[in-house]
Structure 1
């Protein structure tokens, strides 16, 4: 069965990486999600994709230049689907409290060695506090982040995010002892998929929004797809995933 992950919640249906977006995902019966993390100035894990605030909030500056208590007052509706109510940038802890996902892919973008260490240790501490350590996989394309995960938080599942195939993503994932391989769908060939799964990797493919492509990748045998439209995915894969609601 091909599992479904909501991309930044339900990015195509609600403002990305907001509580409303993750609740929308859950309403479709999709209980797995992918999201992005940056540290605030005071070291809290904030759920936002870009290192800067401009695209989603219209504000100037970087996430790291603001404290968490400021960031949670910024409306992150800009540039996404129309939404009536304000959608603040959430803390990761808020989502852990309010959203009962059975698995979380937490993507950490590139970071310095020091910042990578701070970020992965903060994730480990928060996941443990909420009893979710076994429901979290921390993913990244950054060697610094993956190194920090392997060195400092070996108890957490980790995954490589691979957009290009110029370096063999399977070898890189194995080097960092990853359990997940998040592949851009354009480089997910049946041969690469089979090789990755033979190596024991869960292959999660992104970002898959067209019903025909969802079905084709499911036919290939991908372990999961990451989609902006979890509701569409549920309907598109219904015959392939007969146990889904």
Structure 2
């Protein structure tokens, strides 16, 4: 009996020691499907977003622009991209011939098919595993919101990370920041999605406007070394006046109380700078991370989430680490 009690005590101590070194499940690690998960399905299409919800992601990452008739549509490119766009006859667009999204009405825009990659293009070769879905059109943001709402409880927790595609060095290519932001906010309000949306941008003028017009919305400050060196991207803020990028983001975001995210290119991160950003109250959400080893490193360093073209790989890694997984769609195994 004495030995049995001693054995039980030793087992309890051993279990406690193991628990101390096992990773604790983090309830809020943000698994974001970049452009809906373009490694798996045609980017920024309803098919891609549906696939990501089926798989089980925290957030759908996407990009928006405005058509000639002022409709908010989902597109990363400011012009039709020949790498994944065919005309009404099924022919691939010739290089450098894609019309600007801003120059087309919604009806004109939706005559183009964006359901597969051009296999002869260098871009297409990067995503050889992407499953084509012929007939997919550039969708409206309203259509995505409606698709997610139609799934009810199946997608009730899915969030949206929406990037305004504006280049301040090429103002003629898109709508100006204010009409784009106002149109975006109107669609969010119409769909009653404000509690599920983050607005992100490399053009910090956008985020300043969001802070003014919808101050409670989370804002994500996208950065690269190139944009940080040009104050046209940073709403006139000079990087030379700050000791670090997190300090610069914190200063830029001081105009509104909503949650603030710093979203840098993942190669720009170090453990030290992640910790600094988090001490300043910023969440750190790097992009676009597609290699398992890079995901592992960033998770070890304490990133708050990851934006990836391959949400399936990140989901598997989260499962292996004992992290809390976002629920998958009804017909998909976890």
Q: TM-score, normalised by structure 1?
A: 0.92
Q: Deviations over 1:87-132 (max 9, x none)?
A: 1100011111112352111011225687210111111111111111
> Equivalent residue for 1:38?
65
Query: Are 2:165 and 1:135 equivalent residues in the alignment?
Result: no
CA distance in structure 2 between the aligned counterparts of 1:78 and 1:29, rounded to whole angstroms: 23
The structural deviation recorded for 1:7 is 0.2
The structural deviation recorded for 1:239 is 2.2
**Equivalent residues in 2 for 1:1-245, closer than 5 Å:** 1=26, 2-55=29-82, 56-58=84-86, 59=93, 60-79=98-117, 80=124, 81-99=130-148, 100=155, 102-111=158-167, 115-164=176-225, 167=239, 168-177=244-253, 179-244=260-325, 245=334
CA pair 169-103 structure 1, distance change in 2 beyond 3 A: farther
CA pair 241-34 structure 1, distance change in 2 beyond 3 A: farther
The structural deviation recorded for 1:78 is 4.4
CA pair 87-218 structure 1, distance change in 2 beyond 3 A: same
The structural deviation recorded for 1:188 is 1.3
CA pair 207-241 structure 1, distance change in 2 beyond 3 A: farther
- Answer whether contact 2:247 2:277 (CA < 8 A) is retained: no
SS at match of 1:180: strand
SS at match of 2:162: strand
- Structure with greater proportional strand content: 1
CA distance in structure 2 between the aligned counterparts of 1:204 and 1:34, rounded to whole angstroms: 12
- Shifted more, 144-153 versus 223-232: the winner is 144-153
SS at match of 1:206: coil
CA distance in structure 2 between the aligned counterparts of 1:105 and 1:51, rounded to whole angstroms: 18
Is the radius of gyration larger for structure 1 or structure 2? Answer: 2
- Answer whether contact 1:111 1:144 (CA < 8 A) is retained: no
- Answer whether contact 2:66 2:101 (CA < 8 A) is retained: yes
The structural deviation recorded for 1:153 is 3.0
Q: TM-score, normalised by structure 2?
A: 0.69
CA distance in structure 2 between the aligned counterparts of 1:202 and 1:31, rounded to whole angstroms: 15
CA distance in structure 2 between the aligned counterparts of 1:210 and 1:53, rounded to whole angstroms: 28
The structural deviation recorded for 1:225 is 0.2
RMSD value over aligned CA atoms? 2.0
Corresponding pairs, count: 245
Q: Deviations over 1:169-206 (max 9, x none)?
A: 32332233261111110011111111111111111111
CA distance in structure 2 between the aligned counterparts of 1:71 and 1:136, rounded to whole angstroms: 25
- Answer whether contact 1:214 1:237 (CA < 8 A) is retained: no
- Answer whether contact 2:65 2:72 (CA < 8 A) is retained: yes
- Answer whether contact 1:72 1:91 (CA < 8 A) is retained: no
